Amino acid sequence: MNKRDVMVRQVSRTFALSIEQLPGLLRDAVAVAYLMFRVADGIEDHEQMAADRKIALLNSWAAVLEGRMPAEQLAREVEDLDSGDPEVEIIGDAPLILDWLHALPESFQTPILQHVHATTLGMARWQAHGPDVEDEAELDDYMHEVAGRVGYLVTDLFALHSPAIHEQREKLLPLSRECGLALQTVNVIRGIRKDYERGWVFVPRSFYRPFGLTRDTLLNRECEPQALAVVSRLADKADRHLDHGLTFITSFPRHEHDIRLALMWPYLFAARTLALSRRNPNVLRSEAKITRGEIARIIARTRVLGWSNRWLSRYYHHLSAVPQPHLPSPRVPGDSQMSEGTRLETHR
């Protein structure tokens, strides 16, 4: 395995699965784009770094992308950070990542630079904004910068790969943003505790104030019933985005099965994670996780049946069902491959 693919796997095994599913040049382009986004991500998410330094480093990365600063200078600016952290390693390897970018056709380089640059500046703006979100519009603004623009980029890259996808680009772009917001809303839910511990609360004040909660009491054990109601409200929001995400995925031609799989895997993982998070106090205490066995089953079934939009819709709704204790998971209509030994596990 080459260094690029190893780097991707080190920071996200699940997204690595999707990227490695893509054909040829498209796989190369998406892998490089993903690592470039992770340069900005690694800066924004660093747990010990002060906001002022994050803003300065994000602006440095933007300057690199604009051609106003050599990538080696950015690498020097993070030499004091823990080089054993894969996220930090990616920042330090920015010169190598840009070499990989410049090996791509120029038609692929242009949208990658455009969207990564916009996301980087958006992250810097949100670091200046601070660690609280007032309402749903503010949350959507943040999620657009860190996830909605990713949807735009992959759509542009897929359109370069396929004339059939290019013909649908204008329809797909707003749906791709919704898909990105869906995944990020699930990330907000899944990361409530971890984000809180690093000083950030992405749950909008307008979501928790009606339940008598404050920033300081949101994760108090005695307030869990109210906090779970807040999680339910966030989950409803995620569901709305996920519904549009399904339209996004099923809009891709069936003969582009590899692209569809690359899109549906993180989408279905998010749908299942969301179901496990509803009414689950563990999402407030640590997080709710999808199991490796579930991931493997989702991949196996979609490889065989994911070409069918009707089956995919049924399977999505099956995975979205909130698990009930002591009850077996329902069968998916039309899925002849499901059996007692392959049902989704109840995860509480």
CA distances from 325 to 115, 279, 329, 348 (A): 44, 12, 10, 8
Residue labelled with tokens 């898909």: 179
> pLDDT of 186-223, one tens digit each?
999 999 999 999 999 999 999 999 999 999 999 999 99
- CB within 8 A of 105, min separation 6: which ones? 25
- What pLDDT, on a 0 to 100 scale, did the predictor assign at position 344? 30
- What pLDDT, on a 0 to 100 scale, did the predictor assign at position 83? 80
Q: Which residues, given as ranges, of the chain have pLDDT below 50?
A: 326-348
Residue among 90, 147, 162 nearest 115 (CA): 147
- What pLDDT, on a 0 to 100 scale, did the predictor assign at position 325? 56
- What pLDDT, on a 0 to 100 scale, did the predictor assign at position 124? 98
> pLDDT of 247-275, one tens digit each?
999 999 999 999 999 999 999 999 999 99
Under 8 Å between Cβ of 291 and 345: yes
Domain with CATH 1.10.600.10 in the chain: 131-348
CA distances from 336 to 203, 295, 304 (A): 40, 19, 11
Question: What letters, b where the CB count within 10 A reaches 16 and e where it falls short, cover 304-334?
Answer: ebbbebebbebbbebbbeebeeeeebeebee
CATH number of 131-348: 1.10.600.10
CA distances from 257 to 37, 217, 300 (A): 25, 46, 14
* CA-CA-CA-CA torsion sign (125, 108, 173, 302): negative
Residue labelled with tokens 């199991």: 291
- What pLDDT, on a 0 to 100 scale, did the predictor assign at position 345? 31
